[in-house]
Amino acid sequence: MSRVFRDLLKKVGSGEHTAENLTRTEAATATKMMLLKEATPAQIGAFLIAHRIKRPTADELAGMLDAYDELGPKLQPIDGERTVVVLGIPYDGRTRTAPISPVTALLLAASGQPVVMHGGDCLPTKYGVPLVDIWQGLGVDWTGLSVEKTQQVFEKTGIGFVYTPEHFPLTNSIWEYRDQLGKRPPLATMELIWCPYAGDAHVVTGFVHPPTETLFQATLGLRGVTQFTTVKGLEGSCDLPRDRTAIIGLATTSTPDTTGIVPIERLLLAPRDYGFTTKNVPLNTTGELIADIQEVLKGEASDLMETAMWNGGFYLWRCGICSDMREGIVKTKELLTNGAVAKKLQEISQLVNSVSKAVFQPV
């Protein structure tokens, strides 16, 4: 099998003038061979760095997603009127700005909007604060649940978290290469639009560089995904910035154009137009972040509360729960101050604890 992989490696690693793009099928094959360790370590390392230098195409990302669909986990469809929202957050965490996405997810779930998140532990290349650490600090430990038990929590509470080290262990070895190489491979780009949910989903993805947004449009079009939102968010996340105008793309049609790209409507949101100060909340220690989030869940006024309202207003509007941003901001503040979001957190925490793996206690 390593000979098969060698031919794929030669295509992407032949240099600036002779390298070739992989077909969608070839990209899927290469991804599966890396995950299943059918390629040699030398081949995998060479492929990851060569493909980063070449830069991925939409066909290649679509093929990688095909491989993840074949080998990876998926939460099963749940009953409900609303399309499930899948939040794509960088797996290597945040290092500069305070994440608010767990609060956003709780807010949406408290409003009847189901949410799926996914991620792992503190990972390269940023080694930032991962989502699971924030959830653990809030009393919800997703790391001890099987996919089946996560499904139970998802069905009953409206929030599910696909914890990749437990639910998709084939990806663990790729993280070792990423650590050794010191650079993010194209798989890291693909993770932002991975959808570990088997039903209809609205994919929300962050991006940093404008070409990435266009790449996502084309990739999602190839995959038949027409419900999505792109956010030029904080550190590549889905969190709206407050220090600048938020640049957002809203998919507006179920039909890709002649180039295969799903058209988007551009939305520009300036925080000052809605009464918010134009600064992001810095990330200090994880402990301080957890304490600040707990204050937000009590409805206390703070800089992070403004961030929660700014993001909550947008996502409540985008999911169709509120008619516009201003109504969404008011609704967010109401749900935080009346305890509805804190109650949702308590519900999830209690359920996760009740279905967690039993720990053997020697007599």
Listed by start position, the domains of the chain span 2-71, 78-356
> What is the reported pLDDT for 179?
93
> What is the reported pLDDT for 244?
97
> What is the reported pLDDT for 357?
59
Q: Whose CA is closest to 146, among 345, 6, 355, 309? A: 355
pTM: 0.95
> What is the reported pLDDT for 361?
43
Q: Which CATH number fits domain 78-356: 3.90.740.10, 3.40.640.10, 3.40.1030.10, 3.40.50.720?
A: 3.40.1030.10
Q: Is 270 in contact with 295 (CB distance < 8 Å)?
A: no
Fold classification of 2-71 is 1.20.970
pLDDT in tens, 102-126: 999 999 999 999 999 999 999 999 9
Low-confidence ranges of the chain (pLDDT < 70): 357-363
> What is the reported pLDDT for 359?
52
